Amino acid sequence: MRNIILIILTLLPSVAGAQFNTDRLVMVGRSALYYEDYVLSIQYFNQAINSKPFLYEPWFYRGVAKFYLDDFTGAESDCSKAIELNPFVPDVFELRGFCRIRLKDFKAAIADYDETIKYNPDKKNLWYNRVLCRMEDKDYEGAHSDLDRMISRWQSYSKAYALKAEVCMQQKDTLEGVKYLDKSLEIDPYDADAWSVRAMISLSRSQWKDADMQLGKAIHLKPHTAGNYVNRALARYNINNLRGALADYDKAIEIEPENFLAHYNRGQLRVQVGDDNRAIEDFDFVVKMEPDNALAIYNRGLLRERTGDIRGAINDYSAVIKQFPNFWVGLNRRAHCYRLLGMTGKAEMDEFRIFKAQNDKHNGIQPRWSRKMRRSVRKKSDIDMDKYNQLVVADDNTVDHEYASDYRGRVQNRKTDTGFLPMYRLSFTRYTNGIKSYQVFDNEIETFNRECRPRHTVHINCNSKALDATETEACFALIDTLSAEIDHSGSTKTSRGLLLQRAVAYIVTQNFDAAANDLTTYTQIDSTASFAYWQRAVCQTMMNEFNASQGMETELKGMRALADFDKALSLTPGNAYIYYNRANLHAMRKDYAAAVADYTRAIEIDPRLAEAYYNRGLARIHLNKKAEGIQDLSKAGELGIYGAYSVIKKNR
């Protein structure tokens, strides 16, 4: 018994250390996840899983990272493993349900939402998503049942009424659908999806002016949905607003370049307004998307014939005739083209086939096109050659819904409403802003590179890209090598250079706590190294932002970062990057006046510091000095930050 106790006591420190290391790996991985470095975060979670495969958290968070990399199959698998290890965490069921939605496995997604609703019955977004899954699965009775419970519980939730209306419409109960839609819009007249559904009803009733107005409201509220422009174009076409219809098709294609309906119908409208060459471009695109689309090929053939490309027209007519041997209108056009090229024998063969077809009572005679017929439309899947010059509508006119989830947008509900560009920090990659060859220069860092000759040159950067898997492995290997050398280092001078290199490697791999520890040791060796203080402040700030997102108090640690920036400036008062970084810290604390003062000082030292102009512009806008802010943003754009122009547009 005594020996057993001694063995247990001997193992306790290593067990505690392993647990601590695993917790640190998960925490650092979550930090990388928060800063959207997904490949890197997966590496940390892999290490945690290898160390403790029975913990559910690393499996779950690795699933989150895979989800953001669009690896929905891998994310679903990791969530399933996490559920196997701990079946009592509703967030894991919710994420797996969202993955299954992306994989079109709606029945399985419903099962996951059943589980998470069991734990969170008051979270209406879960009910909303389950209803959408039931609709996709054609379970209309189940959708009605869920919606009735939602309406009973959340009587002012407009989306529930809108979905109820849509289910009614799927069941062809338009009158009941209109009633629920009106209720939805009465509660929330700013619901773009509800206006889209209302417009669908108007389109189905050929109420073109109403549809135009309703889709206009939907577009105003949700301007980046291509389907709304396509549908409004149809309404405008039917009220003879061809210019407006063409503009809508242009916008739909701008938003969704491969939208079939927009390209096909724009081609048809261009034919009507005599813009033949550009109509050919649209039909070229459609035929590239659907090489066997006989209607598009025939339309392109007509246009090629009209624009003088006779051989191209013959090729198109032949492709259609191959699919529809008795399409005698196409035979007639091809015969005409053969005669234009002097190919009389082939023309006569086509004309004989036409004569035979005209006498075939089963085929009948090609009807003339009435004005009413020209105004009609065909379904996308309809391949009736009699409808070659009609506009196309979708087989099922439905509204695209956005599933409600915490996993849309940034991870961990990251607060980025300010939009300030990030701090300058140490890196192994050079700075570039995409336009000009401005390079960040710091005398201390250059001296370090010259004297210590690190394995990788150390740079200062504020726009480092996320690491890929190979780069991540290389950084981890570098950390291991440097750690071994530090352990066996015999001199302070040697270890100092190795410590800074390892600190940079930790910063690059988002392990800010470890980087801060190395920088602290560095300041103990060399208390005059300015960059060690301001880089430690950067690390502390990055940790604070992540910790704040987890609900932790960070005010005291924020003051610690500010003290480090102050210390760094006392050592090198002419460093523009430290002023810029300290300004960012002020901006994070919403002290915009102090931020503007520091950005201004940074610009005075380095008038080419584009990021300082950009961030000062945002800070001035926060201080309601819009004109000055726009002037700063304009200068930032001039110096190479493209995003400044879109911010200017939003603040005009």
Q: What is the mean pLDDT of each run of 10 residues along the chain (652 residues)?
A: 40 42 90 89 92 94 92 94 95 94 94 94 93 93 94 92 89 88 91 88 90 94 92 93 94 92 91 91 92 90 93 93 84 92 91 75 47 44 49 57 54 50 90 66 88 87 82 90 86 80 92 93 91 94 90 87 95 94 94 96 93 94 92 88 81 75
- CB-hemisphere CA count at 13 Å for 423? 26
- How far does Cα 136 stand from its chain's mean position? 23
- Residue 203 placed within a domain: no
The per-residue pLDDT for 28 is: 92
Which two tokens mark 517? 């520890």
- 321 part of a folded domain: no
pLDDT of residue 451: 85
Residue 389 pLDDT: 55
Sign of CA dihedral 289, 290, 295, 299: positive
pLDDT of residue 400: 57
Would the CA dihedral through 128, 130, 131, 136 be positive or negative? positive
Q: Yes or no: say if 544 and 562 are a contact pair by the CB < 8 Å rule.
A: no
Burial 402-421 (b: 16+ CB within 10 A, else e): ebbbebeeebbeeeeeeebb
Q: Which residues pair with 426 in a beta bridge?
A: 460
**φ and ψ at 460, to 5 degrees?**
-110, 130
| Number of separate domains in the chain | 1
Query: Which of these, 520, 511, 506, 534, lies nearest to 445 by C-alpha position?
Result: 534
249 and 229 in contact (C-beta within 8 Å)?
Answer: yes
Structure tokens at 245: 């219809």
Strands 459-461 and 425-427, by their bridges, are antiparallel
- Residue 616 inside a domain? The answer is yes
Residue with tokens 């100092």: 496
Report the DSSP pairing between strands 391-393 and 377-379.
Answer: parallel
Helix 226-238 / helix 242-255 crossing angle, nearest 10 deg? 170
Tokens for 162, please give them. Answer: 């809108």
pLDDT at 559: 92
CATH of the domain at 553: 1.25.40.10
- Domain range spanning residue 640? 469-650
- Report pLDDT for 174: 86
621 falls within a domain: yes
pLDDT of amino acid 470:
87
- Closest alpha carbon to 350 in 312, 384, 321: 321
Rounded Cα distance between 540 and 548, Å, is 12
Residue 314 counted as domain residue: no
Count other C-beta atoms under 10 Å from residue 64's C-beta: 25
**Residue 546 in domain:** yes
The C-alpha atoms of residue 233 and residue 239 are separated, in whole angstroms, by 10
> Does residue 41 fall inside a structural domain?
no
Question: Cα 527 from chain centroid?
Answer: 45
Separation CA 531–CA 108 (nearest Å):
53
Cα–Cα dist 45/17, whole Å: 17
What's the pLDDT score for residue 383? 43
Q: Are 267 and 304 in contact (CB under 8 A)?
A: no
CA 186/CA 536 separation, integer angstroms = 55
Residue 195 inside a domain? The answer is no
